[in-house]
Structure 1
Amino acid sequence: MSEDNTQCHDGGTGPSELEPYLMTVLSKKFEAITRDMTQSLLKSARSNIISVARDFSSAITLYDGRQFMIDEGLPIHLANIHLVPQVTREYFDDVRPGDCFLTNSPYAGNTHHADYTLHSPVFCDGEPLFWTVSRAHQADVGAPVPSTYVADGETVFEEGMHLPSVRIQREYEDREDIVRMCTENIRVGETQWYGDYRAQVASVRRGETEIQNLCEEYGVDVVKTFVEEWLEYGERMMRQEIATLPAETISHTAHHDPIPDAAPEGVPVTVELSILPDEERIVVDLTDNEDTIPAGFNLTEATTVAAVYGGIFNNLDADIPHNQGCIDRIDVEMGDGKVVGRPEYPAGTSLATTNVCDTLFNAVQASFGQLGEPYGMAEGASGMPIVVSNISGVDPRRDEEFVNQVIYYGGGGPAVHGHDGWMMYGIPITGGVIYRDSVEVDEHQYPILVEENELVPDTGGPGKWRGAPGCICRYRPRDTEITVTYFGNATEFPPKGIRGGKAGGKAATKIETADGTVVDTPSINVVEVGPGETVIGRFAGGGGYGDPFERDPERVRSDVEQGYVTVDGADEDYGVVLEETSTGIEIDEDATRERRNEVER
């Protein structure tokens, strides 16, 4: 970043006011602060969904609400996190040092009601410059069912408490009335929720202290200059990247499975992207989508823009800083009262961060495939199936109530040009950031036993680059009854491949009864599972990229050797004929050549 090519905010060029080395140093120091915030929460949170699975994100925004610096966090959390401080500033004109605010309302810039967003102002030399922000998914929020997801919740009044930005701390002390309201309206509120809340407070306070130390070390004026140049740098990088793309208008429609009583035909999600390299801008039109549905699957403004930004970023240079300068080069046109876009109060948005949002992610990232190679990313596994369900009940070993979400998915990653699908991808809205649960820890903390959790061969979408296979998981309660709440997808519309790639394997949900009978169950359900019964969940595989018959036969052989593809699957899906020899699995090159030549594609 030299003086002769530094671009100003208006698109022109001019000299940087900071030395290049100082830009690098300060950017890394701010990144380190967000990582410190993350570690504070990770090491002190109470619930497994935060302390093990890492369903949370840390960020710093500018005081005026512009996106500034983010840590490794969930795509659904971070691309929109600047919206919450903007709303808080509209509500409060007396923000002071020592304040901390809590927002979980989807109608106040938040994602959905289960993500509690704590944000604290950062004052330096008496001037408010930043907000430190911690967003974490709660194990329970006091909804009518022991889950943070209410699939049949037609309105926000069925989702539990909504807090549209409340001051929960003043002068660094809790407001006891607000805390008491939360603890008494949330299951295990005084133990689990309060522990997670205090961990989030520690996170934002750590960030506040470190930023103040940074301002003291370098001076407020230097830090303020860096802030503006960092946003300009993000804008310049984004402009340059868009300028290299073809000038095209592209579209893609992805599909969510039918939703009982709300969307019996399913939910199609259509995006149209206009890439304008001359203007160095991308325009995304989402207006051609259905009206809100009477269920909790409607997106919020925050989750809509996050899915759009995330799907685009999945196709661009990963080194572009995802700050306000970057996202300002993307225009999102959305309708009001739509299942994708801005909902009209009080439409239910309980699952705004997952199912249909995953579908929007898929539609955006897959649409780039129409530009030709090397662009595009296939569709990934989606939804909150029974392998990532909420479980609740009473643990007879301790006579204690429990409620938490378990994360047992694996695979599901979409293929991209040059790379097979990521085995630990999970779903689009998490993008591989969520960690899988430790089976041993879960079995210690909850009255369950996990009997099987492994990848399933021939479920990754075939392609020149293969989608990651899906997984199967079996678990059961120990000598008690548990409530299992889940919201699956991809049982009817599996993740599609692009550019000739094939779809991944479908998801499925079953229950094995005490007498050994295996029965299919709805993919969206709340079910009581008793002693002797077993939950069986199948997670979808990711879509493939490119013609499967162009896949390197050696890669197919390796897939078979590792158990991702069977010998029959190699023949049928890839046209690769294999034979077992005394030294292992080998390619029959003549038979493979003949097999591939006989198939017209």
Structure 2
Amino acid sequence: MVDRVTIEVIRHAAIFTAEEMGVVLRNTAFSPNIRDRLDYSCAILAPSGELVAQAEHIPVHLGSMPIGVKNMVKALEENGVSLGPGDVAVSNDPYITGTHLNDVMVLKPVYVDGELVAYVANKAHHVDVGGLVPGGIGAGVRSLREEGLVIPPVKLVEAGRLRTDIVRLLEANVRTPRSLRGDLMAQLAALNTGEKRIRELAERYGVDALLEAWEEILGYTEKYTRTLLQGLVGDGGGAYEAEDYVELESGELAKIRVRLEISPERIVADFTGTDRQVDEPLNAVYGVTVAATTYAIKAVIDPDMPMNSGFYRVVEIQAPRGTLVNPVPPAPVGGGNVETSQRIADVVLRALAEAFPGRVPAASCGTMSNLLLGGKGWAFYETIGCGSGARPCCDGVDGVHTNMTNTLNTPIEVAEAEYPLLFRAYELRPDSGGPGRWRGGLGVVRAVTVLEDGVTVTVYAERSRLRPWGLEGGEPGAPFRSYVVKASGERVELPAKATVRLSRGDTVYIETPGGGGYGSPCERPRDQLEHDVEDGKVSPEAARRYCQPGSR
């Protein structure tokens, strides 16, 4: 038996190892999307494929990591391939790795004295993986193959030797081969760092102690989660339902429905009643659904608790096959990872607001507000911050990434140095936060001018028609909108999901949603409202209408 102190030392060492892997990946990455936006995630997993430690990276990556690892190992074994010492597997098949094609996942087993003691893994969002449009995510995409190159699980490194044939194959199928190679090598460097640290732990405490520590760590989180539930629901519990919608390119709405059955022992999230998968990229693979659901539940019951697969032992997720939240291939899924994931989180949070009143904020913006641009030999991608939902205690946060994304913005100086782009605006969006006793956070206005002809731009966002909802009488946040101002001065409104061609001097404007308000706007203290006006967050006209229901 390993003593509790040693287990805690190993637990924190594993978490630090995942964080250090992320530092190595960031410091050695080539593209701004990974180097500056930090669109990557690192984790440590037990030989069973269960997550034992993660860095504080991207929720949609991390929540799907155990599914991706188990699926990759299984797929390799079914083809007669096993991962030995010095091997690294790679894949981006979302139906295996659990997110979307741009997230390239690499996996390395850690052996000590011939025994498998752990896996180290990371996912990184490569800005381009081929496909019909730069960046892969685009309006008009109708199948997975149109989104880009699908990499089935294959060895990228074999017995310590890089398979350059695989690297050349990948480079030949993307618009930005130099970035792909540089970022892929950074991912391998991160794995090597993780392997080194895990081997050091095994050498210090012994293989048996390390393996026992993994199970103790998972068991503790499982027991802790059940204790939390018992404290929250007592001997009772109940069932709570909610539904929300994603906005299809056709103008129709597609429903996501959840029923949460909460007891002192477990939570079952059942998505029966969700609409069937669609012929556009809004489908979310099962890994995304697991990630978004567990994120929302953990955020409400205890955001500070340790996160690993012990938590997943308490939460069961039922997602019918062939639906928006568990599609079958070759349905496209690029937007499901970034947009439908947000809606899944929203709908689970809405149900939790019924279960645990006073613990759940109003809806955040509900979109990652994706902007993709590409030209000859380059591709640019970013998600843009927005307003978070007002909380039961205070206002929402202005201009941040919320829920399933945890990236930074792309620094303007970096983007302008790397690409033929000129940024015209980057500011908070006045009047975008939902009115309430506590005001929703403000969205963002971001505008960029292209400096060459023939640039393809894709805007892919949500909440353009169904605004982020408020709670307890709070009003919804402002909707998403975007438009292009041509070099001639002509203004062209864009739908929330659009792929268009721009010419030199054209400028695309993105206005992201604000968060929903919490509590009646009539209860907001006058001095706080006056302060909002002084800060330019609420216009004088909007302030005068603040206590009029449906004023916006």
Question: The TM-score by the shorter chain falls in which range?
Answer: over 0.9
Counterparts of 2:232 and 2:218 in 1: how far apart (Å)?
22
- Opposite residue 386 of structure 2, the aligned amino acid is G
Aligned partner of 1:302 in structure 2 is 287
User: Which residue among 68, 80, 96 is the counterpart of 2:52?
Assistant: 68
Give unpaired runs (5+ residues) of structure 1. Answer: 1-16, 395-400, 576-595
Q: Does 1:339 align with 2:303?
A: no
Q: Is the 8 A contact 1:368 1:377 kept in 2?
A: no
Q: 1:224-253 CA deviation, whole Å, 9 max, x = no partner?
A: 221111111111211111112342211222
User: Which residue among 21, 26, 42 is the counterpart of 2:5?
Assistant: 21
C-alpha spacing 1:224/1:419, structure 2 compared with 1 (3 Å) = farther
User: Which residue among 290, 294, 301 is the counterpart of 1:316?
Assistant: 301
Q: Does 1:77 align with 2:61?
A: yes
Counterparts of 1:384 and 1:534 in 2: how far apart (Å)?
20
- Opposite residue 206 of structure 2, the aligned amino acid is G
Q: Does 1:440 align with 2:428?
A: no
Question: What are the residue-to-residue correspondences of 1:15-164 with 2, within 5 Å?
Answer: 17-90=1-74, 91-92=76-77, 94-164=82-152
Q: Which protein, 1 or 2, shows the higher relative CO under an 8 Å CA cutoff with sep ≥ 6? A: 2
Q: Is the 8 A contact 2:18 2:54 kept in 1?
A: yes
Aligned partner of 1:517 in structure 2 is 490
Q: Is the 8 A contact 2:362 2:469 kept in 1?
A: yes
Aligned partner of 1:249 in structure 2 is 239
Name the stretch that deviates more: 530-539 or 240-249.
240-249
Q: Is the 8 A contact 1:377 1:416 kept in 2?
A: yes
SS in 2 for 1:475: strand
User: Which residue among 516, 520, 542 is the counterpart of 2:515?
Assistant: 542
Counterparts of 1:380 and 1:521 in 2: how far apart (Å)?
22
Name the stretch that deviates more: 557-566 or 468-477.
557-566
State the shift of 1:20 in Å.
3.5
Same amino acid, percent of matched pairs: 29
Counterparts of 2:117 and 2:431 in 1: how far apart (Å)?
53
State the shift of 1:574 in Å.
4.8
Counterparts of 1:327 and 1:138 in 2: how far apart (Å)?
28
- Opposite residue 229 of structure 2, the aligned amino acid is I
Superposed structure 1 runs of 4+ greater than 6 Å apart: none
Name the stretch that deviates more: 53-62 or 513-522.
513-522
- Opposite residue 462 of structure 2, the aligned amino acid is N
Counterparts of 2:155 and 2:356 in 1: how far apart (Å)?
50
Q: Does 1:469 align with 2:456?
A: no
Aligned partner of 2:212 in structure 1 is 225
State the shift of 1:479 in Å.
4.6
SS in 1 for 2:287: helix
SS in 2 for 1:437: coil
SS in 2 for 1:227: helix
Counterparts of 1:472 and 1:216 in 2: how far apart (Å)?
52
User: Which residue among 376, 386, 400 is the counterpart of 1:411?
Assistant: 386
Counterparts of 2:239 and 2:488 in 1: how far apart (Å)?
56
SS in 2 for 1:303: helix
State the shift of 1:384 in Å.
4.6
Q: Does 1:428 align with 2:410?
A: no
State the shift of 1:377 in Å.
2.7
State the shift of 1:427 in Å.
4.0
Q: Is the 8 A contact 1:363 1:379 kept in 2?
A: no
Counterparts of 2:24 and 2:356 in 1: how far apart (Å)?
44
User: Which residue among 142, 149, 158 is the counterpart of 1:170?
Assistant: 158
C-alpha spacing 1:372/1:57, structure 2 compared with 1 (3 Å) = closer
Counterparts of 2:4 and 2:525 in 1: how far apart (Å)?
44
C-alpha spacing 1:474/1:89, structure 2 compared with 1 (3 Å) = closer
Q: Does 1:390 align with 2:375?
A: no
SS in 1 for 2:538: coil
State the shift of 1:526 in Å.
1.2
Counterparts of 1:108 and 1:524 in 2: how far apart (Å)?
26
Give unpaired runs (5+ residues) of structure 2. Answer: none
Q: Is the 8 A contact 1:286 1:335 kept in 2?
A: yes
Aligned partner of 1:7 in structure 2 is none
Q: Is the 8 A contact 2:368 2:385 kept in 1?
A: no
SS in 1 for 2:546: helix
C-alpha spacing 1:319/1:474, structure 2 compared with 1 (3 Å) = closer
State the shift of 1:108 in Å.
1.3
Q: Is the 8 A contact 1:41 1:199 kept in 2?
A: yes
Counterparts of 2:56 and 2:472 in 1: how far apart (Å)?
30
User: Which residue among 168, 180, 183 is the counterpart of 1:193?
Assistant: 180
State the shift of 1:145 in Å.
1.5
Q: Is the 8 A contact 1:183 1:194 kept in 2?
A: yes
State the shift of 1:566 in Å.
2.5
Counterparts of 2:525 and 2:296 in 1: how far apart (Å)?
28
Q: CA RMSD in A?
A: 1.9
Counterparts of 2:421 and 2:277 in 1: how far apart (Å)?
37
Name the stretch that deviates more: 544-553 or 512-521.
544-553
Q: 1:260-315 CA deviation, whole Å, 9 max, x = no partner?
A: 2xxx32122111111112xx211111011111111111110101111111111221
> What is the TM-score of this pair, normalised by structure 2?
0.94
Aligned partner of 2:365 in structure 1 is 381
Counterparts of 1:256 and 1:188 in 2: how far apart (Å)?
31
Q: Is the 8 A contact 1:53 1:437 kept in 2?
A: yes
Q: Does 1:565 align with 2:538?
A: yes
User: Which residue among 351, 354, 364 is the counterpart of 2:348?
Assistant: 364
Q: 1:103-155 CA deviation, whole Å, 9 max, x = no partner?
A: 11122132111110001001122111211011011100011211221443322
Counterparts of 2:315 and 2:153 in 1: how far apart (Å)?
27
Aligned partner of 1:291 in structure 2 is 276
Q: Is the 8 A contact 1:412 1:540 kept in 2?
A: yes
Q: Is the 8 A contact 2:117 2:207 kept in 1?
A: no
Aligned partner of 2:315 in structure 1 is 330
Counterparts of 1:373 and 1:87 in 2: how far apart (Å)?
38
State the shift of 1:367 in Å.
1.9
Q: Is the 8 A contact 2:484 2:492 kept in 1?
A: yes
Q: Is the 8 A contact 1:124 1:212 kept in 2?
A: yes
SS in 2 for 1:73: coil
